[in-house]
Amino acid sequence: MGNSGGSLTTRATGELHQLMRAAGFRGIDEAETLAEGWQVADFADAGQRSMANLVRHTGTSALMVSFHDSDVGFVEGLTPDGNSWEGLLNREMAESYEIPLEHFPLEPAVAGALAWSAAAGLTPDEEAVRRTLTGSALFVEELSSALLVALGLPGAAQEIA
């Protein structure tokens, strides 16, 4: 059985683990520090408003990927001014789970990802974002890592399976 938790990426001062717990995340692993204050932490569960609570508290953009058995990733991005976007990773596998792809249209996801990245002060690679949101991988965590790189997160490295 694969990973069914999630991953949160944000720029936060202070202990990300404590900030996440206060925002409603549960089963939080130790945060990985990237660069320029960006951190990534895996979690087992998140409440419906956990990411919004975290963004409101920290005043920084956040990106959350919820994993379904390491096969599919549901992406949500949120900025402090309330702009949000959604995307889907491993679309081909999502179809096999009968997840309606029309609920996750590609063009709004690409536009949202690029706007999120710019709002976070990053420089995204539009073609790489598009490839990530349309690509497939044995483990969706690979696409999640590729998305961080495509969004321009400093210090992000793509996992090699």
pLDDT per residue of the chain (161 residues) written in tens, 0 to 9: 455 799 999 998 778 999 999 999 999 998 999 999 999 999 999 999 999 999 999 999 999 999 998 999 999 999 999 999 999 999 999 999 999 999 999 999 999 999 999 999 999 999 999 999 999 999 999 999 999 999 999 989 765 44
Position 151 scores a pLDDT of 98
Residue 141: what pLDDT? 94
pLDDT score of 103: 96
Give the count of beta carbons closer than 10 Å to the beta carbon of residue 1.
Answer: 5
Q: What's the whole-model pTM score? A: 0.93
Residue 37 pLDDT: 92
Decide: 22 and 14 in contact? Cβ < 8 Å: no
Please report, to the nearest 10 degrees, the dihedral formed by the alpha carbons of residues 17, 4, 138, 158 taken in order. Answer: -10
Residue among 159, 112, 129, 19 nearest 9 (CA): 19
**What does the pLDDT read at residue 158?**
61
Structure tokens at 15: 């202990």
CB-count burial class (<10 Å; 0-12, 13-18, 19+) for 140: buried
pLDDT score, position 101: 95
Instruction: Tell how strand 84-89 and strand 25-26 pair up.
Output: unpaired
